[in-house]
Amino acid sequence: MALGKLYGIGVGPGAPDLVTLRAYNLIRSLPVLAVPRPNPYASSLAFRIMSPHIDPEHKQEHLFLEFPMTKDPEILIPAWNKAFAEIETVLKRGEDIGFVTQGDPFLYSTFIYVHDTLKEKYPELSIEVVPGVSSVMAVPIVAGMPLVDGQERLAVIPASYGLESIRRALQDFDAIVLMKVSSVIEGLITLLEEEGLLDAAYYVERATTDEQRIVRDLRELRGNRCIYFSMVVINKKTRSGVLKGHKSAEVSHGHHA
């Protein structure tokens, strides 16, 4: 029996009107939508983003799947396997299913595990991925701070990689986007002070939503609890302006070294 088709649908960073037309059309037309959430008692941000676009006249099943926020494989793997099995059940019925994910499906997304696991198990499975606006793109825009320009180098790092990894990135890159900073914010502020980069950094949580918060002075975050969907961006701006002829010494004289 032919399997249904699996769609990975990115619905963007939070604002419902940042959903692409392709995602909008699929949300309204697919027979089943799988929606990830951290536990049975938590709301799903992806579902909240897509909700205004659901067609009430279209008969559609919403499958809520648990993907716990932990690094413990003993908790993660059984939960993932249960979620994968529920998706498989739909596909084996010959029905198409869309897995809706915040941001972009291929950037730090739960969908990557779904994609890789089911593609390995069913090599014949047809999968289509719909790109979404990533928070990496949205956060600098809501802050009004261009991300990279000219010959600047960009690093995108989960903050949980550890402060020493972040320190190396700060030395090697011109713009650094730190994802999900809540667990390291105190140490990060100290690190940025040590590196003389505290004034080059800003914090954003829940970008593009009506609960959006921007903090320009990270010192204000000391002793405050930050949320999971939060990012810190550091912009050195030492190599920007190359296209306007404002070359830094490193860029313009590097070839003589």
**CATH code for the domain of 88:** 3.40.1010.10
- Regarding whether 144 and 239 lie in a shared domain, the answer is yes
Which pLDDT tens digits describe the chain residue by residue (257 residues)?
Answer: 799 999 999 999 999 999 999 999 999 999 999 999 998 888 899 999 999 999 999 999 999 999 988 888 899 999 999 999 999 999 999 999 999 999 999 999 999 999 999 999 999 999 999 999 999 999 999 999 999 998 899 999 998 888 999 999 999 999 999 998 988 999 999 999 999 999 999 999 999 999 999 999 999 999 887 888 899 999 998 776 766 666 554 444 333 33
SS3 label, residue 231: strand
Among 112, 130, 148, the domain boundary falls at: 130
pTM for the model stands at 0.89
Strands 97-101 and 61-66: unpaired
CATH number at residue 220: 3.30.950.10
- Regarding whether 185 and 87 lie in a shared domain, the answer is no
Among 130, 154, 174, the domain boundary falls at: 130
- Give tens-digit pLDDT for 189-227: 999 999 999 999 999 999 999 999 999 999 999 988 788
- Regarding whether 207 and 183 lie in a shared domain, the answer is yes
Q: What's the first-to-final CA gap in the chain, in angstroms? A: 64
- Regarding whether 125 and 206 lie in a shared domain, the answer is no
CA–CA separation, 7 and 49 (whole Å): 17
- Regarding whether 139 and 66 lie in a shared domain, the answer is no
Q: Which structural domain, as residue segments, surrounds residue 205?
A: 135-243
